[in-house]
Amino acid sequence: MPSANKKPQTLYDKVFQDHIVDERDDGTILLYIDRHLVHEVTSPQAFEGLRNASRKVRRPDCTLATTDHNVPTTSRKNFKNVGQFVEETDSRTQCLTLEDNVKAFGLTYFGLGDKRQGIVHIIGPEQGFTLPGTTVVCGDSHTSTHGAFGALAFGIGTSEVEHVLATQTLITKRSKNMKIQVDGVLPPGVSSKDIILHTIGVIGTAGGTGAVIEFCGSAIRGLSMEARMSICNMSIEAGARAGMVAPDETTFEYLKGRPLAPKVDSLEWKKATKYWSSLKSDEGAKYDEEVFINAKGIAPTVSWGTSPQDVVSITGVVPNPEDFPTEAKKDSARQALEYMGLAPGTRMEDVELDKVFIGSCTNARIEDLRAAAKIINGKTIAKNLKRAMVVPGSGLVKKQAESEGLDKIFLDAGFEWREAGCSMCLGMNPDILSPKERCASTSNRNFEGRQGAGGRTHLMSPAMAAAAAIIGKLADVRNLADRSATPAKAWPKLDVDAATSDIDTDEDLDHLLDIPEDNQPHANNEVPTSSAGLPKFTKLKGIAASMDRSNIDTDAIIPKQFLKTIKRTGLGSALFYALRFNDDGSEKPDFILNKEPYRQAKILVVTGPNFGCGSSREHAPWALLDFGITCIIAPSYADIFFNNTFKNGMLPLIIPNQDTLQRIAEEAKAGNEIEVDLLNQRINDASGNKLAEFEVEEFKKHCLVNGLDDIGLTMQMEDKIKKFEDRRTMDTPWLDGSGYLKRGKREGPVKVEAAPVPKTNRGEPIQEPLEW
């Protein structure tokens, strides 16, 4: 599907262009989605929405589900079913809800009894579900991982999950192009994790806001697929929507023999690799931003603070907040050091640890475990450690590691060898830090409370975490590594075939999926194309609470313990939980929303940039909404959060000018009401005097003002979507379900239910359908 456009294009431009179903004058684009990954935390409300509106999943053959966030990582030797195995009630409910949904909607599912279960971003590539040139989405911010294949892969919120399930498309707009070029040879002991931590240190967690990053340069070219995945994984921590690497021979080699990739040497494989080879940025392609990094200058890197940008070389010291350039930055460094229990000037190598965690979608692939095992081999973990654990990213990674004897190396050293899942990366399962415990972690986020309330996270590479486990402090892997120049071993590829051999027949498949014969639920694409659904937003007047903070992440807006709900409502009491409440549940009197009149706030004014960064959890806007806040005013937002708010009838306003923003914040601080007039795009004071004007995308405004449910709107574009799919089948036939995702294989009889009162996806009766 070579792009017709003559203008030099970037890799991102090409993949984006090839997926446009429809484009409106204001730049709003309906984008086709090739691959949809689903997990238990961000999908229950989406499936509920489908049910409420009597919609079915449009492309079960392009959808793959697993449980990862909530699952215990204890031995599954005696595993019988989720109901018995997952002890924690809410986690069990979420896992069981996913199981019900995959059965009801006919989706392929890797459950806890399946060797292929694992972290969603590890199993997609492993299976060849992720392919170059595809669009890949998941209700999860680290979907950016899949960009390592030259896919355009990004995280979405739950409402968008529902949109993709129903329509296999998303409403979006073009992102900016950013190039990060890393050239040169990596020094010994430095890995791809160090590249990305170092890069985020350079550009900051808001550095990539609004952009898709293309990682290129000789250092990137020289990396394996797994290392490229670790880099793209953390594009989201760099503030970007996605990260991409142009596919090349390394990519093709990785894909050979994967169950869902075209068969090697088939006509499809030849056609596919020809297309994939065209997916590189053209000579002269324009980037909105370019960053150049010399690989030689990167050292093994660790984080010292509570943001992934707070990094330093392992040979460095804890920075002094007074050395930061602005008062706001000094302040946030002070807060970070207080939380982390660190004093300025302390050598990083003197920082003592309590726990070590090797796992997560950033670094729990086979290569990561090999790198850690190489350091650990023959040694034991330090006595001061309370716990050291290895959590493989998938059942297949675990199996492969065991076949290479890595489990034994870890176990002999004193590590725990666990079952696959997200585990202590965010601690939605029992694997958590206790307050003040300090952890060396190969994960991607060191936010306050991320690995457990009060827990302290230091991010690093698997080899560095292994070194830290042996020393019991943050440690420089270069002092432990075997410096003898033994040639790199040619490692075997992950054995994916063995795992699929138990589903040779249709009967096996049905057994695996446990699909009721004729139970396509409520499947009906004719009735519910109505587009009326959300409350209308035209004018809002009310008290505004103001917060002077930068980079407020969605973990802070609503921590992980509240993500176990299968509902959208009732989350107001969890809003800003750690900032708002003490450990005993009492209110922190100084927090703005605990003061009068701000308990009644309808508007939130945030003076620092990058509000809503981090996780894609739509629970963040749901919590704000449930508290009563329907409008946020800030200088900038993280992309996923920004989209999520609109999907809930909320208005996030961008006021880039600091003086104007301060004027609005002053009104808020004085306890005066503010008026947000969407129709006239003005912010007024309580007496109607103009404080500011604002921009808002035309389509989004239209949806808000009319309370439109954009799934209904998109379903009215059926002809165009169908036409796109027909062309896709012609041009890239390997993208229609193959192997165990074969299209049609699981399509039971479509049962059209009588729908006396058609409902919206929120379960309310539909008003008059509205045209857009």
- Please tell me whether residue 155 binds ligand IPM under the rule CB under 6 A: yes
Interface with ligand IPM (CB under 6 A), residue total 12
446 interacts with, out of ligand SF4, ligand IPM, none, CB within 5 to 8 A per kind: none
Instruction: Dig out the tokens for 647 from the structure.
Output: 């999907």
Q: Residue 488 carries which DSSP code?
A: P
Instruction: Report the residue number, 336 or 558, with the smaller CB distance to ligand IPM.
Output: 558
d(CA 43, CA 618): 11
Beta strands in 132-224 (DSSP E): 135-138, 152-155, 169-172, 176-183, 211-216
Nearer to ligand SF4, 251 or 442 (CB): 442
**Is residue 616 close enough to count as binding ligand IPM by CB under 6 A?**
yes
Q: Does 623 bind ligand IPM (CB under 6 A)?
A: no
Distance, CA of 387 to CA of 382 (rounded, Å)? 10
Is 138 a binding residue for ligand SF4 by CB under 6 A? The answer is no
Task: Give the SS3 label for residue 408.
Answer: helix
Task: Give the angle 72-73-75 at the CA atoms, nearest 5°.
Answer: 110
Task: Order across the sheet with 456-459: list the strands.
Answer: 416-417, 387-390, 355-358, 438-441, 456-459
Query: Whole-number minimum distance, CB 157 to ligand IPM, in Å?
Result: 8
**Amino acid identity for residue 333 in this structure:** A
Interface mask toward ligand SF4 for 664-703; x: CB under 6 A = ----------------------------------------
The smaller minimum CB distance to ligand IPM, of residues 94 and 301, is found at 94
Q: Which is nearer to ligand SF4, 61 or 431 (CB)?
A: 431
Binding residues for ligand IPM restricted to 419-438, rule: CB under 6 A: 426
DSSP bridge pairs for 543? 673
| Closest CB to ligand IPM among residues 69, 746 | 69
Question: Would residue 472 be called left, alpha or beta, if left means φ above 0 and alpha means ψ between -120 and 50 degrees?
Answer: left
Find the part of the chain contacting ligand IPM (CB under 6 A) among 138-146, 166-174, 431-439, 516-524: 138-146
C-alpha angle 613-617-306 in degrees, rounded to nearest 5? 40
617 contact choice in ligand IPM, ligand SF4, none (CB below 5 to 8 Å, kind-dependent): ligand IPM
Q: Outline where DSSP puts E strands in 236-376.
A: 242-244, 289-294, 301-303, 311-313, 355-358
Q: How far is CA 669 from CA 292, 517, 546, 598, 666, in A?
A: 42, 61, 7, 9, 5
Whichever of 275 and 447 has its CB closer to ligand SF4, that residue is 447
Pattern 117-136, binding to ligand SF4, x per CB under 6 A? --x-----------------
Q: Which is nearer to ligand IPM, 212 or 691 (CB)?
A: 212
Of 253, 148, 150, 241, the C-alpha closest to 195 is: 148
- Binder of ligand SF4 out of 56, 142, 398, 458 (CB under 6 A): 142
- Rounded to a whole number of angstroms, the minimum distance from the CB of residue 159 to ligand SF4 is 19
Q: How far is the CB of 667 from ligand IPM (least distance, A)?
A: 34
Q: Which amino acid, one-letter code, is at 633?
A: I
Query: Considering CB distances under 5 to 8 angstroms, the limit depending on partner class, which of ligand IPM, ligand SF4, none binds residue 155?
Result: ligand IPM
Residue from 56, 617, 647, 746 touching ligand IPM (CB under 6 A): that is 617
**Pairwise CA distance, residues 36 & 138, whole Å:** 6
Distance CA 93, CA 566 (A): 8
Alpha-carbon gap, residue 98 to 95, rounded angstroms: 5
| Non-local CB neighbours of 64 within 8 Å, separated by 6+ positions | 35, 36, 37, 38, 107, 108, 109, 110, 123, 124, 127, 129, 741
Return left, alpha or beta for 284; rule: phi > 0 is left, psi -120 to 50 is alpha, else beta.
Answer: left
Considering only residues 59 to 78 of the shown chain, the ones binding ligand IPM according to CB under 6 A are 69
The only residue of 141, 362, 446, 714 in contact with ligand IPM, by rule CB under 6 A: 141
Closest CB to ligand SF4 among residues 476, 553: 553
Residue in 66, 108, 360, 529 binding ligand SF4, rule: CB under 6 A: 360
- Smallest gap from residue 482 Cβ to ligand SF4 (A): 29
Query: Applying CB under 6 A, does 234 fall inside the site for ligand IPM?
Result: no
- 361 in contact with ligand SF4 (CB under 6 A): yes
Adjacent-strand bridge partners of 388: 356
| Rounded Cα gap, residues 144 and 140, in angstroms | 9
Contact indicator for 722, 716 with CB cutoff of 8 Å: no
Of residues 34, 48, 99, 140, which one binds ligand SF4 by CB under 6 A?
A: 140
| 3-state DSSP percent of the chain in helix, strand and coil, to 5 | 35, 15, 45
Nearer Cβ to ligand IPM (618/675): 618
Which of these ranges, 300-308, 315-323, 376-384, 422-430, lies near ligand SF4 under the rule CB under 6 A?
A: 422-430
Size of the residue set binding ligand SF4 (CB under 6 A): 12
Taking CB under 6 A as the criterion, which residues in 45-74 touch ligand SF4? 68-69
Choose between 602 and 619: whose C-beta lies nearer to ligand SF4: 619
CA–CA dist 141, 139 (Å, integer)? 7
With CB under 5 to 8 Å by kind, the binding choice for 550 among ligand SF4, ligand IPM, none is: none
Query: Which of ligand SF4, ligand IPM, none sits in contact with 563, Cβ below 5 to 8 A by type?
Result: ligand IPM
Given the rule CB under 6 A, which of 272-280, 305-313, 421-429, 658-666 is the region that contacts ligand SF4? 421-429
Residue placing its CB nearer to ligand IPM in the complex, 69 or 602: 69
Contacting ligand SF4 (CB under 6 A), which of 104, 425, 453, 653? 425
Task: Match 């699981």 to its residue by tokens.
Answer: 746
β-pair type (20-23, 29-32): antiparallel
Cβ burial, residue 244 (10 Å; 0-12/13-18/19+) = buried
Interaction of residue 41 with ligand IPM, rule CB under 6 A: yes
Contact 674, 684 (CB under 8 A): yes
Q: Any bridge partners for residue 602, and if so which?
A: none
* 360 binding partner (options ligand IPM, ligand SF4, none; Cβ < 5 to 8 Å by kind): ligand SF4
Q: b/e for 521-539, b at 16 or more Cβ within 10 A?
A: bbbbbebbbbbbbbeebee
CA–CA separation, 497 vs 120, rounded Å? 19
Binder of ligand IPM out of 563, 665, 674, 735 (CB under 6 A): 563
Q: What is the SS3 assignment for 299-333?
A: CCEEECCCCCCCEEECCCECCCHHHCCCHHHHHHH
Q: Which of 55, 142, 398, 418 binds ligand IPM (CB under 6 A)?
A: 142
Closest CB 432 distance from ligand SF4, rounded Å: 12
Q: Give min distance, CB of 336 to ligand IPM, in A.
A: 19
In the complex, minimum distance from the CB of residue 359 to ligand SF4, in angstroms, rounded to a whole number: 7
Q: What is the largest CA-CA distance in the chain?
A: 76
230 phi and psi angles, rounded to 5 deg:
-60, -40
Minimum CB separation of residue 421 from ligand SF4 in Å reads 8
- Pair of tokens at residue 452: 């457990």
Q: Which does 219 bind (CB under 5 to 8 A by kind): ligand IPM, ligand SF4, none?
A: none
State the binding string over 566-605 for ligand IPM (x if CB under 6 A, else -). Answer: ----------------------------------------
Q: How many residues does the chain have?
A: 772
Residue 226 binds ligand SF4 (CB under 6 A)? no
Residues numbered 172-211 forming contacts with ligand SF4, rule: CB under 6 A: none
Q: Which of ligand IPM, ligand SF4, none is residue 119 near (CB under 5 to 8 Å by kind)?
A: ligand SF4
Q: How far is the CB of 66 from ligand IPM (least distance, A)?
A: 13
**Residues engaged in binding ligand SF4 (CB under 6 A):** 68-69, 119, 140, 142, 360-361, 422, 425-426, 443-444
**Residues engaged in binding ligand IPM (CB under 6 A):** 41-42, 69, 140-142, 155, 426, 563, 615-617
